[in-house]
Structure 1
Amino acid sequence: MSAQQPSASSLTYRDAGVDIDAGDALVERIKPLAKRTMREGVLAGIGGFGALFEVPKKYREPVLVSGTDGVGTKLRLAFSWNKHDTVGIDLVAMSVNDILVQGAEPLFFLDYFACGRLSVDTAATVVGGIAKGCELAGCALIGGETAEMPGMYPDGEYDLAGFAVGAVEKSKAIDGSTIRPGDAILGLASSGAHSNGYSLVRKIIERAGATPDQDFHGQPLRDVVMAPTRIYVKQVLAAIEKHDIKGLAHITGGGLLDNVPRILRPGLAARLHRDAWKLPELFAWLQREGGVADSEMHRVFNCGIGMVIVVSAAEADAVAATLREQGETVYRLGEIVEQQPGQAQTVVV
Structure 2
Amino acid sequence: MVIDAEGVFDGTGPKLALGALRYRSDDVVAVIDSAHSGRTARDRTGDPRVPAIPVVDDLDAALRYGPDTFVVGISPMQSTLPPGLRDRILAALEAKLDVVCGLHHQLGDDPELSAAADRAGRQIWDLRRPPQQDVRVGTAGSTHRPGSHTVLAVGSDCNAGKMTTMVELDREAARRGLSSRFVATGQTGILVAGDGVPADHVVADFLPTLMHQHVCAATAEHDLVFVEGQAALNHPWYSGVSLGLLHGTAPDALVLCHIAGARDLGHLPLPIPPLPQVVAMNEAAATWGGGPAARVVAIALNTGHLSESEAADAIAAATGETGLPAVDVFRSGPAPLLDAILAAR
Instruction: Please tell me the TM-score bracket, short chain as reference.
Output: under 0.3
Greater strand content: 1
Greater helix content: 2
Larger radius of gyration: 1
Higher relative contact order (CA 8 A, sep 6+): 1
